[in-house]
């Protein structure tokens, strides 16, 4: 059974905060997506980056308002394994990671301007 939520990667959260994009509005417009979920590893990365990046600090506050899902590990591998475990899409702007997600049959989308573009 597929999850009704999407995982949002750190780079998308920071980009959205920097560009003042209402991420919830555009993510929840995706077919079948009822909510945004943040893996613990994304939250950890935002905490680390928030020491030196104001957009990461804002992104951390944003992320903490959403469902935090259990995850193991760090970085892209953590997000990949979490997406596979829950059967949910990932929203990222990392081109290399997009290819990894596609190869692992994970639905992936990216943020382009102020809209979400599905990549597969």
For the chain, the domains span: 5-118
Q: Domain 5-118 maps to which CATH number in 3.40.50.1010, 3.40.190.10, 3.90.245.10, 3.30.565.10?
A: 3.40.50.1010
With contact defined as beta carbons under 8 Å apart, do 61 and 14 qualify? no
Residue for token pair 């193991």: 72
Please say if the pLDDT value at position 1 is more than 70.
no
Handedness of CA 44, 15, 110, 99 (dihedral sign): negative
Residue 120 pLDDT class (50, 70, 90 cuts):
confident
Beta strands at 90-91 and 67-69: parallel, antiparallel or unpaired:
unpaired
This prediction has a pTM of 0.90
DSSP 3-state of 82: helix
The whole-number pLDDT of residue 36 equals 94
Residue for token pair 């990894």: 100
With contact defined as beta carbons under 8 Å apart, do 81 and 73 qualify? yes
Residue 101 pLDDT class (50, 70, 90 cuts):
very high
Model confidence pLDDT, tens digit, residues 17-35: 999 999 988 888 777 888 9
């Amino acid at each position: 059974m597929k999850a009704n939520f999407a995982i949002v990667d750190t780079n998308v959260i920071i980009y959205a905060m920097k560009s003042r994009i209402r991420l919830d509005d555009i993510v929840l417009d995706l077919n079948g997506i009822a909510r945004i979920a943040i893996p613990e590893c994304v939250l950890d990365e935002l905490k680390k980056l928030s020491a030196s990046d104001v957009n990461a600090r804002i992104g951390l506050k944003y992320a903490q308002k959403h469902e935090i899902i259990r995850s193991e590990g760090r970085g892209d591998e953590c997000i990949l394994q979490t997406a596979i475990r829950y059967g949910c899409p990932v929203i990222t702007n990392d081109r290399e990671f997009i290819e990894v997600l596609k190869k692992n049959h994970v639905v992936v989308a990216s943020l382009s301007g102020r809209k979400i573009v599905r990549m597969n």
